[in-house]
């Protein structure tokens, strides 16, 4: 028998490494080591009251989890170390159980769970209370991009959500195709966008800045490429942004390259899917009325520069798997004209 | 193969060699071996898929596989591991061990047992053929509507998944009915329910979960198939026509959560056998462990919506399912404490099966604790659909189920082959597994909490995800190495392992009482009579009673005849089901073969 071959790997070392890794995790959660500058999409740096309440619940659970982890793993390791068979060691003591002990370790987890359950239930109800925010936003999920509507303000944009700092925003969440999930970790947990239903979510951004968000429910080929950004601004900047989004855009000079681009836009397939107020009324793709005010294209995949826009118009599916925007067989001049026209949309 | 004991009074000894003997076998032990190697094969397929996934995620914007292929890989990795590797691997243990542990000659329905295996094999092959046709399932193993609708998944990918799962469901259901009947009806004289080995108990609970859970997913899949494949499509999940995508989620998780316990309870049963054997003392709190297993199985039905904390159930629904979920931590904790209590005061033999059992407890604690973290809906809304949950399920399904099953392989290998597996290689396997699985899965807690969603084929630079993903990828490669060591040990030990006595580890349960290892075809020449829990440990002393399996019962041993009709019936049924996708040219011949084979099967003399 192989009993004589005692393991050459020290169990204690493994246990120590595991404990060290977990201590690392605890330190991470407790000290905010996971800075948003390194991890822009971190869930551990809340920037709204809703996200903070979630984080507080998590912190409480993490403390209990660490205590339980250390106690139970230590009990396991010590038991194995102490009672391992060795020459001249005590024989096994036969016993079938101990009712007092078993009742005790049934009750102990129940009590710990009560400490976790109470704050959990409180935050469930706090974060779910119906709230009509200072500002309302309708979020509509599409494969694979985000539509943001500001009801009553006449603004529709895509993939870049602007919000005023310190104002509570309430969302209506919907989807036109498959289930998506709206997630900006800095501000709130996920909420699904479900076709045929309207979900609700609210939070109050506490600081200005740009915060990444991303679809969190698998939604098909380019689920990974369904990013968006939340730009939190001071009220006056936000108002200026709203005004810019609403401001009419003068048609391009008839002799300009942009004017040719407009003609191509109107004659081509663009109008079938895209909306530009007064020009086209498609609803399949993002609203292009102010496309050149946005920092990115293709739902956060690429910076919105001429080179990327050109490549995108030429062959979107090559850049974004499954993209519903089809490949456009146009001459270089036509694409350049189209880009020039879209650059006037700001 | 088996060496039959001299002058065994069986009226039928069957061919023991050749492919045909395996195709026609109805011996639970041989079917178990078929299950085992098939499940192991699929396990390596699923593992290969996992490696491709890990390579693709090793750095931002990698192009190892396409987005489409990636989506198929993660869908099929999960589907393969759950339905084609872990579940059938558990069934391999049910098959080999249960009749021996309860002192029976075979399962209640030997030919149905063969049918289950062949359905599983053909169903698994059917589903993987989709890769060759370039339409591998790509809607996630949970296949949420409306993405699985014809409008968003126009190819046959989802059809392969839905029909494949239906086929596999038949195998699981037939198997579960078989084991319930076997355990209830074929227990040896004196083997009352509170004397049943815990592994047998957990098999019984698992089988009940299967017969209650699989009909639910069957209904859901039938609805999906009607939506997709009916000439006049239905609209169960078609929102435009009044369908509801959440109907799918509720049905799927009413199946899906009990499925988690279907996966873990057998491993818990294995552990509950190994710990007493190698501690040299009985299981601590046998009744508590049995009752908590039943309680876990029961509570598994009341927690399905904890998979749905982000769909907007409302605060009351979230609260109910959160509290029900937290409640499950109690019996789970009880089991862990009782396992440690089993070792306490023992004389622990630290050999490979025991190491894996200890590893199971340690890793399962981590999976349980991360589970508590997202039993809280607020916390879950940040963790759901991130790598944090990927870490959790892998600590439960790999750290739990897989380590438990591996422990069982090392433990029962001497019973199945008459030889021990190599101890040095076993220890290398164990320690490499512990290091590599933690290197693979622990960093996923971080990538998840730091905002990385799951099921993404790529991520952007500047998110800080690289380091943790690279740790996971390195760990996965190391894990592959440890599994190759295991495979080498397994194959080598079948022929060259140290010869083991019939009670290879001084175990307490009846499977160790057979006259030989591997046991004779009829298991016990005379059925044993049981008077205590852990019967083999109570043979000595003044009150001891000898477990006697020699001599005769006073009549001949009736063993079932080999039959190929279960295999043909399974093949016919699979082809018939494929006809749902490919039309009557497959459906009609498949159906005819199925009906004809079942008819012949029914009229064939059973023994």
pLDDT in tens, A57-83: 999 999 999 999 999 999 999 999 999
Contact A116, A60 (CB under 8 A): yes
CA distance B363 to chain A (A): 9
With CB atoms and an 8 Å threshold, state whether B282 touches A127.
Answer: no
pLDDT band per the 50, 70, 90 thresholds, residue A34: low
Picking from B178, B51, B199, the residue whose alpha carbon sits closest to that of residue B119 is B178
Give pLDDT, residue A4: 41
How long a stretch of residues is chain B?
A: 607
CA distance A57 to chain B (A): 7
Q: How far apart are the first and last CA of chain A?
A: 80
Using the CB atoms, write b or e for A228-238: b if 16+ within 10 Å: bbbbbbeeeeb
With CB atoms and an 8 Å threshold, state whether A224 touches B376.
Answer: no
With CB atoms and an 8 Å threshold, state whether A54 touches B434.
Answer: no
Q: Which residues of B touch A120 (CB under 8 A)?
A: 322, 376-379
DSSP symbol at B537:
G
Q: State mean pLDDT over A5-33.
A: 58
Within an 8 Å CB–CB cutoff, is residue A331 touching chain B? no
Q: Which tops the pLDDT comparison, B550 or A284?
A: A284
CA B30 to chain CA centroid, Å, is: 18
Tokens encoding B458: 């790529």
Within an 8 Å CB–CB cutoff, is residue A200 touching chain B? yes
With CB atoms and an 8 Å threshold, state whether A90 touches B446.
Answer: no
ipTM above 0.90, yes or no: yes
Picking from B415, B408, B399, B367, the residue whose alpha carbon sits closest to that of residue B511 is B415
Closest Cα in chain B to A34:
B450
Within an 8 Å CB–CB cutoff, is residue B61 touching chain A? no
Cβ of A88: how many Cβ atoms within 10 Å?
A: 4
Picking from B364, B395, B277, B343, the residue whose alpha carbon sits closest to that of residue A78 is B343
Within an 8 Å CB–CB cutoff, is residue B435 touching chain A? yes
Picking from A238, A241, A271, the residue whose alpha carbon sits closest to that of residue A341 is A271
**Which of A31, A81, A95 is the best substitution to test chain B (most B C-beta atoms within 10 A)?**
A95
Which pLDDT tens digit goes with each residue over A167-216? 999 999 999 999 999 999 999 999 999 999 999 999 999 999 999 999 99
Angle, helices B286-299 vs B245-279, to 10°: value is 170
Contact B2, B520 (CB under 8 A): yes
Q: Which residues of B touch A180 (CB under 8 A)?
A: none
Q: Which tops the pLDDT comparison, A78 or B546?
A: A78
pLDDT band per the 50, 70, 90 thresholds, residue B13: low
Rounded Cα distance between B276 and A49, Å, is: 51
Does A13 score more than 90 pLDDT? no
CA A35 to chain CA centroid, Å, is: 16
Q: State mean pLDDT over B497-517.
A: 96
CA distance A291 to chain B (A): 22
pLDDT band per the 50, 70, 90 thresholds, residue A95: confident
Within an 8 Å CB–CB cutoff, is residue B355 touching chain A? yes
pLDDT band per the 50, 70, 90 thresholds, residue B546: confident
Percent of chain A with pLDDT over 90: 80
Angle, helices B565-582 vs B584-603, to 10°: value is 160
Within an 8 Å CB–CB cutoff, is residue A81 touching chain B? no
Give pLDDT, residue B99: 98
DSSP symbol at B142:
T
pLDDT band per the 50, 70, 90 thresholds, residue B534: very high
| Phi-psi sector, B436: left (phi>0), alpha (psi -120 to 50), beta | alpha
Q: Give the H/E segment covering residue A137.
A: strand A135-142
What is the tally of helices (H) and strands (E) in chain A? Answer: 9, 14
Q: Give the H/E segment covering residue A222.
A: none
Q: Is B600 exposed, middle or buried (0-12, 13-18, 19+ CB in 10 A)?
A: middle
Q: State mean pLDDT over B467-491.
A: 96
Tokens encoding B353: 């099966």
Rounded Cα distance between B492 and B555, Å, is: 40
Give pLDDT, residue A105: 87
Across chain B, mean pLDDT equals: 94
Give pLDDT, residue B9: 43
What is the tally of helices (H) and strands (E) in chain B? Answer: 18, 0
Question: Taking a contact as any Cβ pair under 8 Å apart, which residues of chain A between 265 and 324 contact chain B?
Answer: 321-322
Give pLDDT, residue A33: 56
**Which of B450, B458, B472, B499 is the best substitution to test chain A (most A C-beta atoms within 10 A)?**
B450
User: Which of A28-32, B334-338, B545-549 has the least mean pLDDT?
Assistant: A28-32
CA distance A334 to chain B (A): 30
Q: State mean pLDDT over B307-326.
A: 96
CA distance A50 to chain B (A): 9
Q: Which tops the pLDDT comparison, A29 or B532?
A: B532
Tokens encoding B250: 């509720």
**Which of B144, B328, B348, B381 is the best substitution to test chain A (most A C-beta atoms within 10 A)?**
B381
In A165-281, DSSP assigns E strands to 169-175, 180-182, 191-193, 199-203, 209-214, 227-233, 275-276, 280-281
Which pLDDT tens digit goes with each residue over B259-301? 999 999 999 999 999 999 999 999 999 999 999 999 999 999 9
- DSSP-derived secondary structure for A15-36: HHHHHHHHHHHHHHHHHT-S-T
Q: State mean pLDDT over A31-52.
A: 84
Within an 8 Å CB–CB cutoff, is residue A95 touching chain B? yes
Picking from B567, B562, B570, the residue whose alpha carbon sits closest to that of residue B16 is B562
Give pLDDT, residue B4: 38
CA distance A127 to chain B (A): 8
Picking from B514, B176, A208, B399, the residue whose alpha carbon sits closest to that of residue B184 is B176
With CB atoms and an 8 Å threshold, state whether B427 touches A38.
Answer: no
CA distance A92 to chain B (A): 4
Within an 8 Å CB–CB cutoff, is residue A96 touching chain B? yes
Q: Which residues of A touch B66 (CB under 8 A)?
A: 321
Does A100 score more than 50 pLDDT? yes
CA distance A12 to chain B (A): 12
pLDDT band per the 50, 70, 90 thresholds, residue B400: very high
CA distance B601 to chain A (A): 45
Q: State mean pLDDT over A297-309.
A: 97
Half-sphere CA count of A180, side-chain side, radius 13 A:
29
Q: Kindly report the CA angle at B206 between B201 and B210, in degrees rounded to 5?
A: 150
Question: Taking a contact as any Cβ pair under 8 Å apart, which residues of chain A between 41 and 60 contact chain B?
Answer: 41-44, 51, 53-54, 57-58
Tokens encoding A243: 């005004």
With CB atoms and an 8 Å threshold, state whether A83 touches B345.
Answer: yes
Contact B227, B219 (CB under 8 A): no
Give pLDDT, residue A14: 64
- DSSP-derived secondary structure for B472-527: HHHHHHHHHHHHHHHHHHHHHHHHHSPB--SSTT---SGGGGSSSSSPPTTS-SS-
Q: Which residues of B touch A116 (CB under 8 A)?
A: 326, 372, 375-376
Rounded Cα distance between B26 and B178, Å, is: 13
Closest Cα in chain A to B137:
A220
**Which of A224, A227, A296 is the best substitution to test chain B (most B C-beta atoms within 10 A)?**
A224
Contact A58, A29 (CB under 8 A): yes
Give pLDDT, residue B18: 85
pLDDT band per the 50, 70, 90 thresholds, residue B10: very low
DSSP symbol at A314:
H
Rounded Cα distance between B478 and B484, Å, is: 10
DSSP symbol at B392:
H
Q: State mean pLDDT over A40-53.
A: 95
Cβ of B607: how many Cβ atoms within 10 Å?
A: 12
Q: Is B219 exposed, middle or buried (0-12, 13-18, 19+ CB in 10 A)?
A: middle
Rounded Cα distance between B268 and B292, Å, is: 11
Tokens encoding A338: 């189209």
Q: State mean pLDDT over A233-238.
A: 98
Which pLDDT tens digit goes with each residue over B84-110? 999 999 999 999 999 999 999 999 999
Which pLDDT tens digit goes with each residue over B142-201? 999 999 999 999 999 999 999 999 999 999 999 999 999 999 999 999 999 999 999 999
DSSP symbol at A91:
P
Closest Cα in chain B to A99:
B285
* Cis, bond preceding B518 (omega within 30 deg of 0): yes
**Which of B382, B460, B462, B485 is the best substitution to test chain A (most A C-beta atoms within 10 A)?**
B382
Q: State mean pLDDT over B212-235.
A: 96
With CB atoms and an 8 Å threshold, state whether A217 touches B327.
Answer: no
Which pLDDT tens digit goes with each residue over B340-361? 999 999 999 999 999 999 999 9
Rounded Cα distance between B145 and B143, Å, is: 7
Tokens encoding B580: 């749902």
CA distance B14 to chain A (A): 34
Rounded Cα distance between B597 and B592, Å, is: 8
Rounded Cα distance between A86 and A6, Å, is: 10
Cβ neighbours for B395, distance < 8 A, ≥ 6 positions apart: B363, B364, B366, B367, B370, B441
Contact A171, A139 (CB under 8 A): yes
Contact B387, B447 (CB under 8 A): yes
With CB atoms and an 8 Å threshold, state whether B287 touches A97.
Answer: yes
Within an 8 Å CB–CB cutoff, is residue B194 touching chain A? no
- DSSP-derived secondary structure for B24-48: S---HHHHHHHHHHHHHHHHHHHHH
Q: How far apart are the first and last CA of chain B?
A: 22
Phi then psi for residue A6, to 5 deg, are -75, 145
Percent of chain A with pLDDT over 70: 90
Rounded Cα distance between B303 and B469, Å, is: 31
């Amino acid at each position: 028998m192989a009993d004589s071959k005692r393991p050459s790997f020290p169990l204690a070392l493994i246990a120590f490494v595991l404990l060290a890794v977990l201590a690392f995790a605890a330190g991470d959660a407790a000290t905010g080591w996971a800075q948003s500058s390194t991890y822009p999409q971190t869930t551990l740096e809340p920037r709204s009251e809703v996200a903070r309440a979630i984080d507080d619940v998590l912190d409480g659970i993490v403390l209990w989890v660490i205590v339980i982890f250390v106690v139970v793993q230590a009990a396991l390791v010590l038991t194995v170390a102490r009672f391992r068979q060795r020459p001249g060691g005590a024989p096994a003591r036969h016993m079938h159980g101990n009712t007092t002990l078993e009742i005790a370790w049934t009750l102990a987890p129940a009590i710990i769970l009560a400490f976790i359950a109470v704050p959990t239930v409180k935050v469930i109800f706090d974060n779910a209370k119906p709230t009509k925010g200072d500002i309302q936003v309708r979020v509509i999920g599409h494969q694979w991009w985000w539509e943001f509507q500001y009801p009553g303000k006449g603004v529709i944009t895509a993939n870049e959500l602007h919000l005023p700092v310190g104002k509570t925003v309430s969302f209506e969440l919907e989807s036109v195709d498959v289930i998506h999930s709206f997630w900006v970790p800095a501000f709130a947990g996920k909420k699904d966008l479900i076709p045929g239903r309207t979900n609700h979510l609210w939070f109050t951004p506490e600081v200005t800045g740009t915060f990444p968000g991303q679809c969190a429910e698998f939604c098909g080929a380019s689920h990974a490429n369904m990013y968006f950004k939340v730009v939190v601004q001071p009220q006056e900047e936000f108002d200026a942004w709203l005004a810019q989004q609403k401001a009419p855009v003068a048609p391009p000079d008839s002799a300009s390259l942009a004017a040719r681009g407009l003609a191509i836009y109107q004659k081509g397939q663009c109008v079938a899917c895209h909306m530009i107020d007064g020009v086209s009324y498609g609803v399949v793709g993002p609203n292009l009325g102010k496309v050149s005010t946005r920092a990115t294209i293709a739902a956060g995949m690429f910076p919105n520069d001429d080179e990327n826009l050109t490549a995108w118009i030429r062959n979107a599916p090559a850049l974004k798997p499954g993209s519903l925007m089809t490949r456009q067989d146009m001459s270089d001049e036509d694409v350049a004209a189209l880009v020039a026209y879209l650059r006037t949309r700001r | 193969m088996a060496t039959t004991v001299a002058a065994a009074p069986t009226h039928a000894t069957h061919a023991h060699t050749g492919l045909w003997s395996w195709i026609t076998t109805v011996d639970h032990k041989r079917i178990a071996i078929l299950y085992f190697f098939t499940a192991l094969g699929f396990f390596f397929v699923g593992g290969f898929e996992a490696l491709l996934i890990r390579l693709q995620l090793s750095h931002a914007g990698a192009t190892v596989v396409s987005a489409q292929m990636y989506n198929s890989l993660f869908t099929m990795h999960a589907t393969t591991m759950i339905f084609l590797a872990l579940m059938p691997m558990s069934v391999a243990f049910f098959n080999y061990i249960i009749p021996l542990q309860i002192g029976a000659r075979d399962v209640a329905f030997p030919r149905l047992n063969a049918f289950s295996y062949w359905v599983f094999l053909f169903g698994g092959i059917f589903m993987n053929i989709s890769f060759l046709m370039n339409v591998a399932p790509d809607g996630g193993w949970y296949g949420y509507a409306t993405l699985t609708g014809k409008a968003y998944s126009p190819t046959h990918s989802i059809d392969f998944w839905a029909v494949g799962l239906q086929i596999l469901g038949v195998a699981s259901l037939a198997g579960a009915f078989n084991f319930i009947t076997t355990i209830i009806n074929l227990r040896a004289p004196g083997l009352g329910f509170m004397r049943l080995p815990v592994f047998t108990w957990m098999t019984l609970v698992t089988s009940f979960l299967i017969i209650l859970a699989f009909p639910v997913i069957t209904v859901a899949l039938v609805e999906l198939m009607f939506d997709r494949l009916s000439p006049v499509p239905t609209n169960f999940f078609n929102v435009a026509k009044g369908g509801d995508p959440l109907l799918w989620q509720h049905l799927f998780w009413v199946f899906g959560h009990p499925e988690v316990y279907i996966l873990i309870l057998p491993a818990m049963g294995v552990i509950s056998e190994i710990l007493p054997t190698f501690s040299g003392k009985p299981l601590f709190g046998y009744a508590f462990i049995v009752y908590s297993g039943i309680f876990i199985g029961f509570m598994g039905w009341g927690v399905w919506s904890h998979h749905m904390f982000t769909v907007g159930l409302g605060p009351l629904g979230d609260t109910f399912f959160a509290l029900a979920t937290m409640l499950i931590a109690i019996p789970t904790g009880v089991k862990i404490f009782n396992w440690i209590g089993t070792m306490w005061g023992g004389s622990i033999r630290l050999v490979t099966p025991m190491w894996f059992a200890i590893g199971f407890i340690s890793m399962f604690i981590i999976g349980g604790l991360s589970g508590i973290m997202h039993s809280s809906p607020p916390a879950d809304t940040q963790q759901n659909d991130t790598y944090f949950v990927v870490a959790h399920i892998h600590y439960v399904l790999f750290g739990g189920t897989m380590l438990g099953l591996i422990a069982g392989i090392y433990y029962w290998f001497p019973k199945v082959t008459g030889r021990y597996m190599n101890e040095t290689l076993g220890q290398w396997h164990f320690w490499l597994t512990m290091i590599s699985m933690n290197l693979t899965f622990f960093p996923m807690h971080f990538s998840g909490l730091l905002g990385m969603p799951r099921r993404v084929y790529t991520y952007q630079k500047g998110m800080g995800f690289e380091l943790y993903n690279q740790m996971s990828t390195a760990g996965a490669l190391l894990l592959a190495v440890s599994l190759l060591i295991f495979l080498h040990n397994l194959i080598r030990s079948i022929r060259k392992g140290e010869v083991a006595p019939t009670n290879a580890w001084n175990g307490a349960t009846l499977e160790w009482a057979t006259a030989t290892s591997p046991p004779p075809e009829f298991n016990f020449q005379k059925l044993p009579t049981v008077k205590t829990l852990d019967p083999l440990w109570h043979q000595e002393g003044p009150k001891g009673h000898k477990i006697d399996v020699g001599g005769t019962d006073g009549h001949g041993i009736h063993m079932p005849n080999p039959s190929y009709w279960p295999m043909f019936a399974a093949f016919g049924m699979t082809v018939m089901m494929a006809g749902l996708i490919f039309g009557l040219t497959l459906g009609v011949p498949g159906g005819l073969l199925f009906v004809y084979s079942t008819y012949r099967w029914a009229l064939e003399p059973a023994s």
